[in-house]
Amino acid sequence: MKKRSIAILSIIIVILFIAHRLRAQDTAPAAHAGDEGLALTPPMGWYPWNEFGQEPQNEKLIKEIVDALMTSGLKEAGYAYVGPDEGICFSRDASGKLTSNLERYPSGLRGLGDYIHKKGLKYALYTDAGTRTCSKAMPGTKDHEFEDMAAFAEWRADYVKIDWCNTQGQDVAKSYTKLGEALHASGRPIVFSLCSWGEGQPWRWAASVGNLWRTTGDICAPGKADWNNAMKVAAANEKLHEAASPGHWNDPDMMIAGMQGLSETQNRSFFSLWCMMAAPLMAGNDLRKMTASTVHILTNLEAIGINQDPLGIQGRIARRNGKVEIWAGKPLFDGSQAVLVFNQGAAPAQAQVTWPDIGLAESAALYVRNLWTHQTTGPHSGGVSVTVAPNDVALLRISKANTFPVPPIIVADTYLVSLRAEGSTTRKLTAMVTVKTNGSKALPLWKVRPGLPSWLSVSVTESGKTQKLTNTVSTAGLKKGLYHALVRADNIEPVSGRPMSALYYDVDLEITSGGAGRVSK
Ligand code: GLA
C-alpha cells in the first residue's frame, strides 16, 4: 500500500514537473523579442492587396503610391511602411537564391527599397511560409527560411508579411517561430507580420515570435470593399483585446476605408474602430485617387493619436444597448480614456456614456473631447449623452484635464544617407537626417546607439519638435569600396515615460578611385 502511494506520488511529481517545463517553454520569450524596439505602436503604412490584388503590382504602381503618400499628407500623419504584397516580385534561381523580377521591378527589389527609404518611408515586402505564395506565382520560404530572410535583409526590408498558403502538413507555431529566428539571424531589425488568418491562434504565442498577427480571414476580395464582412472581422478581433501590447498587435487586416462602395460615414466608423482596437493602420485604398473626405479621415491626428497611444491597449466593447455599442477599456498615456459609441442600427440613436461604464466614479467632473468635430465640452459629471447617426460613431476622449495631447507621430525626411568620396584624399563628409514629431510635445534628444563603425559619427541637435541627426564620415584610412552602417536611435515618450519605437536609418558610403567627392542624400 505504502509502496503504491509512493509510486503514485512520484508519477504526480513527474507530471507536474513536465507541465511546468512545457508552460515555461510556452511563455518564455525568444531571446530577441522586443530588443529591437520595433513597432512599439501599431505599424502605419499602405499595402496593395485590398485595392489591387496581384495586378497591376509593379514598381511603377509602388512609386506612384509613394508619391501619393507624400503629397496627400498621409506621410505627415505617420503612414510609413509601403511596398508590394503578393506582387510577383521575385523568383528562386537554380542555386536556390531569391532574385528580383526585373520586368516588373526594373530597379530590383533593393533599388525599390532605396527609393522608398530616400523619401523617408519604410520598406515592406511579402512572402509565404509554405512552398509557394497563394496564387503560386512566387516561391514560398519553406526549407529556405534563413536564405530568404537574408535576401529580405539585403534588399533592406523593414517589414515582412508572411502568408500561410500552400503549407500542407506544416505546424503554424513551429513554421513562424523558425521564420522569426531566420529574421533575427539576418541581422536587420525587421517588423514581422504573421499572416495565418487566425489559424493556430497566434494571439496565444506569437508575441515572442513577431510584431503583429492576422486574426481573421481576408477583409475583402481585391477591389471589393465589403462593409458587412469588415464588421465581422472587427467583432472577431475585438474578442482578442487582451493579447495586444506594445510591439505585439492583433491585426484585423488592411483597411478598406476610402475604397469604392463605402460611404463617408462608413469610412469614419471603420477608421475609428481600427484606431480604438490599436490595429495596424495599413491603408488599402488607392491613394492616387482619394477624395478630400477620405484624406481628412485617414489623416485625423486626434484619432491617430488614440491608435498610436504609447500604452498600446486595445479597446473593447464595454456595453451594448440594442444596436449601439459603447467601446471603452482604452486608457491613454496622459491619464485620459478613449471611448467609441458605434451605432449599427438603421435609425439615429441617443446613447448615454456613464462614467461607471468606463470605470470612473460617477461624481468625477470630466471634459469630453469629440475627436471628429474637434470640440471639447464639460466638465460633465455622471456621464455624457451623444446622438449618433446610423453606421456612424462618436469617438471621444474623456479627461480630468481640459487638454488632449497627441502622442509622438514621427516623420523623417529620409531613411537613407548616401555618400560618395574619392579614395586618394581624406575627406570629411556630412549629411543630415531630419526627424520631427507631429505630436503635441517636443521630444527629448534622440540617443544614438553606440557601436557605429569608426568612419561614422552621428550627433543630434534639437530645435523645437524637429531634430537633426548629423552624420559625419571620415574617409581616412578607407580603401576603395562600399561601406554600410545601420544607425539606431532611441527615445522616450515624455508624458508617459514609455520607450518609443527605435528609429533606424541606413548610411551608405562609397569610396571611388577617382573623381571629386560629393555628398548626396
Ligand atoms: C492572403 C492574405 C492577403 C494577401 C493575399 C495574397 O489571402 O491574407 O492579405 O496577402 O494572400 O495572395
Q: For residue 96, give the C-alpha cell.
A: 536556390
Q: What is the pLDDT of residue 9?
A: 52
Cα 168 to averaged position of ligand 1 atoms, centre (Å):
17
| Pick from 431, 429, 418, 483: nearest CA to 453 | 483
Cα 385 to averaged position of ligand 1 atoms, centre (Å):
41
pLDDT at 22 exceeding the cut of 80: no
pLDDT at 289 exceeding the cut of 80: yes
> How many angstroms separate the CA atoms of 100 and 111, rounded?
10
Sign of the CA dihedral 80, 301, 436, 450? negative
Q: Are 40 and 246 in contact (CB under 8 A)?
A: yes
Mean pLDDT over 55-62 rounds to: 94
Per-chain mean pLDDT for the chain: 93
Which tens digit of pLDDT belongs to each residue from 449-483? 999 999 999 999 999 999 999 999 999 889 999 99
Q: What is the pLDDT of residue 292?
A: 98
Helix (H), strand (E) counts: the chain? 10, 27
Q: What is the pLDDT of residue 517?
A: 43
φ, ψ of residue 276 in degrees (nearest 5): -65, -30
- Please state whether the peptide bond connecting residue 408 to the residue before it is cis, i.e. omega within 30 degrees of 0: no
Which tens digit of pLDDT belongs to each residue from 314-348? 999 999 999 999 999 999 999 999 999 999 999 99
Model pTM? 0.92
Closest ligand 1 atom, CA of 217? 8
Q: What is the pLDDT of residue 426?
A: 81
Mean pLDDT over 126-131 rounds to: 98
Q: What is the pLDDT of residue 237?
A: 98
Residues of the chain above pLDDT 70, percent: 92
pLDDT at 429 exceeding the cut of 80: yes
> How many angstroms separate the CA atoms of 168 and 378, rounded?
58
Centre a 10 Å sphere on the Cβ of residue 46 and count the other Cβ atoms it contains: 29
Residues of the chain above pLDDT 90, percent: 89
Catalytic residue, chosen from 148, 163, 286, 334, is 163
Band (pLDDT 50/70/90 cuts) for residue 92 is very high
Q: Where are the alpha helices (DSSP H) in 277-339?
A: 292-298, 301-307
Which tens digit of pLDDT belongs to each residue from 192-203? 999 999 999 999
Residue with cell 461607471: 356
Which tens digit of pLDDT belongs to each residue from 399-425? 999 999 999 999 999 999 999 998 777
Which tens digit of pLDDT belongs to each residue from 187-228? 999 999 999 999 999 999 999 999 999 999 999 999 999 999
Nearest CA residue ID for atom 7, ligand 1: 218
- The binding-site residues of ligand 1, defined as CB within 6 angstroms of any ligand atom, are 49, 85-86, 134-135, 163, 195, 197, 218
Beta strands 337-343 and 393-399, pairing class: antiparallel
Centre a 10 Å sphere on the Cβ of residue 405 and count the other Cβ atoms it contains: 16
Band (pLDDT 50/70/90 cuts) for residue 306 is very high
Q: What is the pLDDT of residue 12?
A: 52
CA angle 385/387/390 to nearest 5° reads 145
Cα 283 to averaged position of ligand 1 atoms, centre (Å):
15
Band (pLDDT 50/70/90 cuts) for residue 34 is low
Which letter does DSSP use for residue 492 in this model? B
Q: What is the pLDDT of residue 32?
A: 46
Mean pLDDT over 276-290 rounds to: 98
pLDDT at 490 exceeding the cut of 70: yes
Q: For residue 318, give the C-alpha cell.
A: 464595454
Cα 134 to averaged position of ligand 1 atoms, centre (Å):
7
Mean pLDDT over 308-318 rounds to: 98
At 409, the amino acid letter reads I
Q: What is the pLDDT of residue 423?
A: 77
CA distance readout (Å), 301 to 256, 308, 406, 483: 19, 10, 7, 39
Ligand 1 site-directed mutation target among 54, 195, 196, most atoms within 8 Å of CB? 195
Q: What is the pLDDT of residue 422?
A: 85
Nearest CA residue ID for atom 6, ligand 1: 86
Mean pLDDT over 291-313 rounds to: 98
Q: What is the pLDDT of residue 519?
A: 43
Band (pLDDT 50/70/90 cuts) for residue 18 is very low
